[in-house]
Amino acid sequence: MRLIDLRSDTFTLPTKEMMDSIQSAELGDDVEKEDPTVNQLQEMSADMFGAEGALLVTSGTMGNLVSLMTHCRRGDEVFLESEAHIYYYELGGVSALVGAIPRLIKGNGGKFSPEQLEASIRHQDLHYPIPSLVCIENTHNRAGGTVWTPREVEEVSKVAHDHGLKVHCDGARIFNAAVALDVDVKEYMRHLDSITFCLSKGLSCPIGSVVVGNSEFIEGVTRARKMVGGGMRQAGVVAAPGVVALQNMIGRLKEDHRNARRMAEGLNDIPGISVDLDTVQTNIVLADITGTGWDVDYFVNRACKIGVQVFEFGATKARFVTHYGIDEQDVDDALARLRRLLER
Q: Which residues bind ligand PLP (CB under 6 A)?
A: 10, 59-61, 85, 137, 141, 170, 172, 198, 200, 209
C-beta separation of 263 from 320 below 8 A: yes
Least separation in angstroms between residue 293's CB and ligand PLP is: 30
Least separation in angstroms between residue 196's CB and ligand PLP is: 7
Q: Which is nearer to ligand PLP, 166 or 323 (CB)?
A: 323
Least separation in angstroms between residue 20's CB and ligand PLP is: 24
Q: Tell me the chain's radius of gyration from C-alpha atoms.
A: 20
Residue with nearest beta carbon to ligand PLP: 60
CA 249 to centroid of chain Cα atoms: 16
Which of 135, 139, 80, 87 has its CA nearest to residue 105? 80
Least separation in angstroms between residue 64's CB and ligand PLP is: 6
Q: Which is nearer to ligand PLP, 65 or 273 (CB)?
A: 65
Task: Return d(Cα 319, Cα 33) in angstroms, integer.
Answer: 40
Q: Which is nearer to ligand PLP, 36 or 109 (CB)?
A: 109
- Please state, as a whole number, how many other Cβ atoms lie within 10 Å of the Cβ of residue 312: 18
- Please state, as a whole number, how many other Cβ atoms lie within 10 Å of the Cβ of residue 265: 15
The DSSP output letter for 13 is P
Which of 304, 305, 270 has its CA nearest to residue 288? 270
Task: Return d(Cα 289, Cα 96) in angstroms, integer.
Answer: 36
- Please state, as a whole number, how many other Cβ atoms lie within 10 Å of the Cβ of residue 45: 25
C-beta separation of 212 from 195 below 8 A: yes
Q: Which is nearer to ligand PLP, 203 or 270 (CB)?
A: 203
Least separation in angstroms between residue 200's CB and ligand PLP is: 6
Q: Which is nearer to ligand PLP, 61 or 132 (CB)?
A: 61
The DSSP output letter for 145 is S
C-beta separation of 109 from 148 below 8 A: no
Least separation in angstroms between residue 80's CB and ligand PLP is: 12
Least separation in angstroms between residue 209's CB and ligand PLP is: 6
3-state secondary structure of 2: coil
Least separation in angstroms between residue 188's CB and ligand PLP is: 14
Q: Which is nearer to ligand PLP, 61 or 259 (CB)?
A: 61
Q: Which is nearer to ligand PLP, 72 or 143 (CB)?
A: 143
Measured N-to-C along each axis, helices 16-24 and 236-248 cross at an angle, to the nearest 10 degrees, of 140
Which of 65, 66, 72 has its CA nearest to residue 129? 72
Which residue type does 16 have? K
Q: Which is nearer to ligand PLP, 175 or 342 (CB)?
A: 175
